[in-house]
Amino acid sequence: MPFLASRRFDGLNVTIPYKITVMQYLDEISPEAERIGSVNTVVRTNDGKLIGYNTDFYGMSELIRHAGIAIKDKKVAILGTGGTSKTARAGAIHLGAKEIITVSRDPN
């Protein structure tokens, strides 16, 4: 991707369908984005490295905390298996869920 290779930007947002594809062009990927398997934000550091993050992870985790929902040592149900379900799973694990159940109409 010529635009990414140029590194003539400070940061950018990534949307579907490029959240997974962009990962191969990055120098580093945050542990959260790595666990989720997608990046939605790319930042160029002062030394020119491209680092990928998944800011949805932070947003979801903080929303749960802000709402006062206690997940630690609890059973968590995630409805659906789309892209956001991966973020929900990573957030639940991060917040200490004991068990995670996924409910989906798609058996795969």
Instruction: Report the 10 Å Cβ neighbour count for 51.
Output: 17
Is 26 within 8 Å of 51 (Cβ atoms)?
A: yes
19 a catalytic residue? yes
Among candidate residues 19, 75, 86, 98, the one labeled active-site is: 19
Active site residues: 19
